[in-house]
Amino acid sequence: MNKRENRRNSRRLYPVIMITLVIVIAVLAVILILTRRSETEEVSVYGIGNVDQYRPQMSVELLTPNPYSRPQTATDKITGIVIHYVANPGSTAEQNRSYFEGLKDSHETYASSHFIVGLEGEIIQCVPTSEVAYASNDRNHDTVSIEVCHPDETGKFNDATYDSLVELTGWLCEYLEVPVDNVIRHYDVTGKLCPLYFVEHEDAWEQFKDDVTHWISKHQ
């Protein structure tokens, strides 16, 4: 083979190499896209299978429909969960529910919450998650609210209350397909010092979200 033939051969080979390269890149791109898509699908069906099985024990005591605490307005798609504290030291979940229920007669203010977690860890549901509750101001239409009882002025939750709150929040994240990053404090909506202890102790708030993440990873 002389030099000229060599050059001719390499010129003939050039398009073959280019085409092969293009095919390899295309195949790699397809593999990448397919892998990505299966990851997304996994995230979107995350947890669904066991949602009913892990529903926390709760007492469903829906408020009487009324304009002050249960207007029966349909929510938009729920995108977040808002944590509150009742700001009434030592009061029970049942007492806080009664307060919301009483607004239908007292007309004192507009207030309610989807759930209340009590001092013994008991959970009362007051409003269906498909209906607006009056708890989180501008976010009432697309969030679910949890009011939490506390023994004293510091607003710190006792262990029984805290454990139930972690369980309820984790379960709601799964049930409503809300990522833990979208679990927020009332403070994050309006700047109100609510829930007080989680506003004054950022580390406790971060720990709470870690505990919720951990609960979810154990119950998928």
Smaller CB separation from Zn ion, 150 or 186: 186
Residue 84 contacts Zn ion per CB under 5 A: yes
Binding mask 39-78 for Zn ion (x = CB under 5 A): ----------------------------------------
* Residue 190: CB minimum distance to Zn ion, A: 8
* Residue 218: CB minimum distance to Zn ion, A: 28
Smaller CB separation from Zn ion, 150 or 216: 150
* Residue 186: CB minimum distance to Zn ion, A: 3
* Residue 194: CB minimum distance to Zn ion, A: 3
Rounded Cα distance between 146 and 85, Å, is: 8
Task: Choose which of 103, 165, 194, 216 interacts with Zn ion (CB under 5 A).
Answer: 194
> Pick from 163, 110, 161: which is nearest to 140 by CA?
110
Rounded Cα distance between 80 and 184, Å, is: 7
Task: Choose which of 115, 132, 186, 215 interacts with Zn ion (CB under 5 A).
Answer: 186
The DSSP line for the chain is --HHHHHHHHHHHHHHHHHHHHHHHHHHHHHHHHHHHHHHHHHHTTTGGGTTTTPPP-EE-PPPPBTTTB--PBP----EEEEEE-SSTT--HHHHHHHHHHHHHH-------SEEE-TTS-EEE-S-TTB--SSSGGGTTTEEEEEE--SSTT-PPPHHHHHHHHHHHHHHHHHTT--GGGEEEHHHHH---TTHHHHH-HHHHHHHHHHHHHHHHH--
Smaller CB separation from Zn ion, 84 or 150: 84
Residues shown for the chain? 220
Smaller CB separation from Zn ion, 123 or 135: 135
Smaller CB separation from Zn ion, 114 or 186: 186
Considering CB under 5 A, how many residues would be counted as binding Zn ion?
Answer: 3
Binding span for Zn ion by CB under 5 A among 62-70, 117-125, 165-173, 186-194? 186-194
* Residue 30: CB minimum distance to Zn ion, A: 50
* Residue 87: CB minimum distance to Zn ion, A: 8
Binding residues vs Zn ion (CB under 5 A): 84, 186, 194
